[in-house]
């Protein structure tokens, strides 16, 4: 045994060697002890944190890993909280889904067993399903909670455990903190009821698929246009994930008949063998799909991440080359189309709204304002959009919304990012553009001319370790204590401090409260309509700067020139903030 390993680590590891753990787990621990002291330390130096969204971590043996025991302990804590909240008032029900990642069927089964052992009725999907379908199932089946086993677009060695409440949205206050407290009380696997009750576990599948697709199709606004442009050339890739069955079915149900699939990436695999990263935000993840589009003459490329809650898009430009749309651009196209159609159909009554996160483009607000639709800003995370919908339910009508990181939600029948319905609405937007002889890029340029050219960029400054964390905090303190007067010649006219929960108008001197949860975020709004957001990452040793720069675009002919000017402006503001 390597004596250079900290004794505390060895003591924690020895519990796993002598306790009631399976032999394969003990074999892994012994291997780490004998061959990989650094790996042993990382596996046991802490407990895997159950955060406000659940668990996420590397798979393997150890207290700081995703494995059957950490999943079991988290589930027991959740079960204890559910029983505290609901007691004997009613039969508690839970829905469970999982994506394509390695060990997911095992983790889902363990979750089902622990919940059922605690007297909770479980609806377990028969095979992998998208995260948005789990959100839908919670509402459709009137469950009290839902769990999806996924690590979203993280690398293949990761897995995760995401928890939902009875509205189909992810946990929010007070439930998130209360569940965490219950999970922290589970100090040993002896406190976990692993032996399931099969009579309380019910398999679900196709019937939920049909109900989900029916509600998804109800979001369509132009079935007549789709009929005329049903043969729009589309290439879709699930990137080895859960979109493989439902997205093609949804596109077909909407009426699209010329959908080409990337066969190599239809193979369901937690190893993601054809990509370095299964993240559709990265252009390389859509590489095979773009090549397929070139071969088939398609005009629209879409790819979803492993749990099908995010979607990346590529379209042809005026040179007939494929270019990637960012999340802000896709959201702007879809919202412009949807609000235009709602207006055309005279469905706008003054009580409708859209929602976006505070780091998402202000172009959405400009578009919505044109149609007389209010925009609500929420903190980063779709759970806050779900919370907003719940608060306004019965009073106002949610149309759609999204975030810059490639997540969109069309309608309120799902309460989380929904790449399945989003793929269909993106295709419908493309069909609508085609009906006017336009491409999606041409339509986007038209939006820029009409509302202003917004260019967004994110810059992250990495500062590792304790000293790095202290430096990041000093940077935030400096921005709060001495906020900039100008950025690249434009006055800072408004400042939002989400930690102090105040908004300050420098022109009028007015201060007013921000009706948002407290968060370490600062936003600076410039005289020309630009927005700069600063926030430390909650999961990585970095501070993030989000730039949303605005300029007038007189005509489509000035697009490239204006784009270069805005890029130079972002660089100038970045330098003024000491980032380069």
Q: Looking up tokens 């455990």, which residue turns up?
A: 161
Q: Is residue 150 within 8 Å of 307, Cβ to Cβ?
A: yes
Catalytic residues: 152
Q: How far is CA 160 from the centre of its chain?
A: 13
For residue 174, say if its preceding peptide bond is cis, omega within 30 degrees of 0: yes
Confirm if 440 and 317 have CB atoms less than 8 A apart: no
Would the pLDDT of 250 be above 60? yes
Report the alpha-carbon distance of residue 498 to residue 494 in Å, rounded.
13
**8 A C-beta contact, residue 455 and residue 566:** yes
What tens digit of pLDDT does each residue of 147-182 get?
999 999 889 999 999 999 999 999 999 999 999 999
pLDDT at 356: 97
pLDDT on residue 129 = 98
For residue range 85-112, list pLDDT tens digits in order. Answer: 998 778 999 999 999 999 999 999 999 9
Residue 1 pLDDT > 50, yes or no? no
Domain limits, CATH 3.40.120.10, in the chain: 46-204, 228-450
Question: pLDDT digits over 15-36, tens only?
Answer: 999 999 999 999 999 999 999 9
Question: Is residue 562 scored above 60 in pLDDT?
Answer: yes
Query: Model confidence over 263-295: pLDDT tens digits?
Result: 999 999 999 999 999 999 999 999 999 999 999
Domain range 228-450, CATH class: alpha beta
How large is the angle between the packed helices 175-185 and 68-86, nearest 10 degrees? 120
Beta strands (DSSP E) in 527-577 are 531-536, 542-551
Q: What is the pLDDT of residues 110-143, one digit of tens each?
A: 999 999 999 999 999 999 999 999 999 999 999 9
Residues 36-95 have pLDDT tens digits of 999 999 999 999 988 878 999 999 999 999 999 999 999 999 999 999 999 877 899 999
Residue 571: CB atoms within 10 A of its CB come to 16
Q: How far apart are CA 423 and CA 426, in angstroms?
A: 5
The pLDDT, as a whole number, for residue 222 is 98
CA distance 553 to 448: 6
Strand 234-237 with 259-261, pairing: parallel
C-alpha to C-alpha distances, 364 to 225, 328, 351, 432, nearest whole angstrom: 24, 8, 17, 19
Whether residue 472 has pLDDT greater than 60: yes
pLDDT at 346 over 90: yes
pTM: 0.95
3-state class (DSSP) for residue 278: coil
Confidence of residue 3 (pLDDT cuts 50, 70, 90): low
Give which of 129, 110, 332 is closest to 246, Cα–Cα. 129
Domain with CATH 3.30.310 in the chain: 453-576
CA distance 118 to 113: 9
347-382 residue pLDDT tens: 999 999 999 999 999 999 999 999 999 999 999 889
HEC string of 379-439 equals CCCHHHHHHHHHHHCCCCEEEEEEECCCEEEECCCCCCCCHHHHHHHHHHHHHHHHHCCCC
The CATH number given to 46-204 is 3.40.120.10
Confirm if 364 and 332 have CB atoms less than 8 A apart: yes
- Residues 578, 482: Cα–Cα separation, whole Å: 14
User: What is the CATH class of 453-576?
Assistant: alpha beta
Q: What pLDDT, on a 0 to 100 scale, did the predictor assign at position 153?
A: 87
Q: What pLDDT, in 10s, does the model give residues 495-546?
A: 999 999 999 999 999 999 998 889 999 999 999 999 999 999 866 788 999 9
């Amino acid at each position: 045994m390597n004596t250079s390993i900290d004794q505390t680590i060895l003591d924690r590891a020895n519990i796993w060697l002598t306790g009631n753990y399976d032999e394969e787990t003990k074999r892994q621990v012994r291997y780490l002890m004998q061959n990989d002291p650094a790996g042993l330390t990382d596996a046991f130096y802490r407990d895997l944190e159950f955060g406000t969204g659940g668990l996420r971590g590397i798979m393997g043996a150890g207290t700081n890993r995703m494995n059957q025991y950490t999943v079991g302990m988290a589930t027991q804590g959740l079960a204890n909280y559910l029983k505290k909240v609901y007691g004997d008032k009613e039969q508690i029900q839970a829905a469970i889904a999982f994506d394509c990642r390695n060990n997911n069927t095992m983790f889902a089964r363990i979750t089902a067993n622990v919940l059922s052992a605690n007297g909770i009725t479980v609806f377990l999907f028969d095979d992998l399903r998208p995260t948005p379908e789990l959100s839908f199932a919670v509402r459709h089946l009137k469950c009290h909670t839902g769990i999806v086993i996924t690590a979203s677009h993280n690398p293949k060695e990761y897995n995760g455990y995401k928890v939902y409440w009875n509205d189909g949205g992810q946990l929010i206050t007070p439930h998130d903190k209360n569940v965490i407290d219950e999970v922290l009380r589970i100090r040993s696997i002896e406190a976990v009821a692993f032996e399931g009750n099969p009579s309380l576990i019910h398999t679900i599948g196709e019937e939920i698929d049909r109900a989900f697709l029916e509600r998804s199709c109800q979001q369509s606004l132009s079935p007549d246009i789709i009929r005329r442009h049903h043969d729009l050339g589309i290439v879709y890739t699930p990137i080895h994930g859960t979109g493989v069955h439902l997205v093609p079915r949804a596109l077909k149900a909407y009426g699209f008949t010329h959908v080409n699939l990337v066969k190599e990436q239809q193979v369901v695999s937690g190893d993601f063998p054809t990509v370095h990263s299964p993240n559709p935000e990265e252009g390389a993840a859509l590489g095979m799909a773009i090549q397929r589009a070139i071969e088939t003459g398609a005009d629209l490329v879409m790819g979803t991440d492993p749990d099908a809650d995010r979607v990346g898009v590529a379209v042809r430009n005026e040179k007939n080359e494929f270019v990637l749309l960012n999340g802000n651009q896709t959201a702007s196209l879809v919202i412009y189309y949807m609000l235009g159609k709602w207006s055309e159909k005279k469905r706008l009554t003054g009580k409708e709204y859209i929602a976006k996160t505070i780091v998402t483009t202000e172009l959405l607000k400009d578009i919505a304002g044109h149609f007389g639709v209010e925009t609500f800003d929420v903190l980063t995370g779709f759970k806050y959009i779900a919370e907003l919908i719940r608060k306004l339910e019965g009073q106002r009508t949610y149309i759609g919304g999204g975030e810059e990181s490639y997540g969109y939600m069309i309608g309120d029948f799902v309460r989380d990012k929904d790449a399945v319905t989003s793929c269909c609405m993106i295709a419908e937007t493309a069909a609508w553009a085609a009906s006017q002889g336009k491409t999606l890029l041409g339509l986007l340029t038209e939006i820029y001319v009409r509302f202003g050219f917004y260019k967004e960029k994110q810059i992250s400054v990495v500062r590792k370790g304790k000293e790095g964390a202290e430096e990041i905090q000093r940077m935030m303190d400096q921005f709060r204590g001495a906020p900039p007067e100008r950025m690249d010649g434009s006055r800072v006219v408004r400042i939002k401090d989400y930690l102090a929960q105040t908004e300050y108008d420098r022109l009028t001197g007015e201060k007013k409260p921000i009706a948002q949860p407290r968060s370490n975020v600062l936003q600076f709004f410039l005289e020309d309509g630009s927005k700069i957001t600063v926030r430390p990452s909650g999961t990585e040793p970095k501070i993030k700067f989000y730039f949303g720069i605005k300029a007038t675009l007189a005509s489509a002919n000035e697009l490239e020139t204006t784009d270069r000017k805005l890029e130079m402006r972002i660089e100038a503001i970045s330098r003024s903030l000491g980032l380069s």
